[in-house]
Amino acid sequence: MKFFTLVGVEFRKIRRSRIQILLFLGTVILWLPSVIHADMNFKMQAEGISPENNFFIQGFMGMAAFLFPASMVVCTVLLQQTERNHHGILKMLSLPVCPAKLCFAKFTVLLSLAAAQILMTVGMYGVSAGIASRTQDYNFLLPLSYVFKQAGSILLASIPMLTFFWLLSVWIRTPIFSIGFGLASIVPSVLMINTKVWFVYPMAYPFFVIVSEYGKLATRLSTAPIKWVPWLPVAAGITIICLLLSCFRFGQVERG
Amino acid sequence: MSVFPECKKMKRTGFFPALLLGGLFSAMVPVLNMAFRSELYTGQGKPPVRILLDANWQMMAMLNILLVLVGTCILYHTEYENHAIGKMAALPIRRGRLFVDKFLLMAAACIVILALEAAAVGFCSFRWFPLPEGFHGLILELLQNFGYFLLLMMPAMLLSLFIASVCENMWISLGIGVICVFTATMLPSGNFAWSLFPYALLFQIPKSLPAHTAGKLLLAVPIEIGAIGIAGALFANIRRRFT
């Protein structure tokens, strides 16, 4: 089977999972307080950030710190459970498909779900910035090219984290451990971004990227800039190792 | 005792070791914080338990809530996997009983988690702070604080368990839980009505609040516990009509 056929099959499996609703609901709740408390953006002069930038960055920081990583853990649960219910994985493995390919197809679906949630966040940002502009009589909407650039960099930065979550869900077969470990690993990322070794902790990447952008926008606030040299090789290494390990392990228990 | 079969069901799901590990992880938070930057806290001149909780409880509470979430999802996941709940319904047990038993098991697990955390906070106060009220004072303070936390944890426990009992698919109950926890972190602080949201309760420290607010809070929580508990136990009876 071709790789894209496999990805299509995986998408069909989760078509009626209602995961889209869950991802969307998260983004609605993310932007709701920003619209209600839109006037707070004018009181951020101490940091030296303009109201429209503050509106944008606060929402995206909230997303990258908890909502997005936690939603991705939920997505890994979905991708694993659809196979384990009624031994669906046995049927998939009986097809003439390389298990590693199957695993990578599933990871591609996870990646697209991540992209979908980020896209929803951008969409809701547009809606809520529009509403806030009306209520506050001030233009909160930033240029779309800038917003998409930031959203894209969050997505790129989240790839190592996604491979790690995927590794957890493939290797740890007791769901409580894979979910618990995934969720618990998100919590310290707020601390990790303030340390010198943040680049070894993939769960902190998306948050680090957006916090670093916050430092650029706010003139009176300094945050750690992105240092490409240790980060890029480490991130690439984590991604490749996690993907290789999970493709190696995928379906191994069922194959016996 | 019908809690016992619930324990047996959980034996091979990793429920107990996972929650124990989670409890240990969250107990490490104050210890590590003190080990690395004790000079930030020792000079504050407030009661040690209060300093430690003010500094670390937000993160510990977050971990606790997530543990509760995962634990409750697994408690019902074992029932829905392979339709075990149909077999449970065939037994001569009242249906709401299952909900109550699972809640009792979760509450027992939470007591262990909180005890671990209390021990860690106690250790930190003992190791890094002078104890003006002596050892007994420290124990009393810890018991009071963590007793409140247990009470504040219960509405979240019950609500997660209720959601897990409604949704057959674990990702839905987990997803709703994640959104609820996220909502709790987004709620404006200092608003009493919002602070009653079951998932937001645990982020508060009753002993640091003004006595008046804390009193209202501790009055409202048992009402929430009763309401969600009754709803959860009753829903078990009418569940068949929805699924």
Residue of B nearest to A27 (CA): B179
Count of CB atoms situated within 10 Å of the CB of B143 = 11
Domain that holds residue A98: 3-255
B179 vs A18, A25, A175: nearest CB: A25
Per residue in B14-30, pLDDT (tens digit) is 899 999 999 999 999 99
Contacts with A, B 32-91, CB within 8 Å: 59, 62-63, 66-67, 69-71, 73-74, 77, 81
Instruction: Report the number of distinct structural domains present in chain A.
Output: 1
Per residue in B121-134, pLDDT (tens digit) is 999 998 888 887 78
Contact yes or no for B127/B185 (Cβ under 8 A): no
Tell me the mean pLDDT in the region A29-47: 85
Tell me the count of A-B CB pairs closer than 8 A: 95
pLDDT tops 60 at residue B1: no
Residue A23 pLDDT grade (very low, low, confident, very high; cuts 50, 70, 90): very high
CB contact under 8 A, B171 and A184: no
Contact yes or no for A184/B25 (Cβ under 8 A): yes
Chain B residues with beta carbon closer than 8 angstroms to that of A81: 169-171
Q: To the nearest 10°, report the CA torsion of B19, A188, B180, B158.
A: 20
Query: What integer pLDDT is reported at residue A178 of this predicted model?
Result: 93
B22 at interface of A, judged by CB pairs closer than 8 A: yes
Q: Which one of B178, B185, B187, B189 would you mutate to disrupt binding with A, by most A Cβ within 10 Å of its Cβ?
A: B178
Least confident range of A109-113, A221-225, B237-241: B237-241
Q: Which one of A67, A75, A176, A178 would you mutate to disrupt binding with B, by most B Cβ within 10 Å of its Cβ?
A: A176
Chain A nearest C-alpha distance from B24 (Å): 12
> Any idea where the domains of chain B sit in the sequence?
3-242
Element housing B192 (H / E): helix B192-195
ipTM (interface predicted TM): 0.91
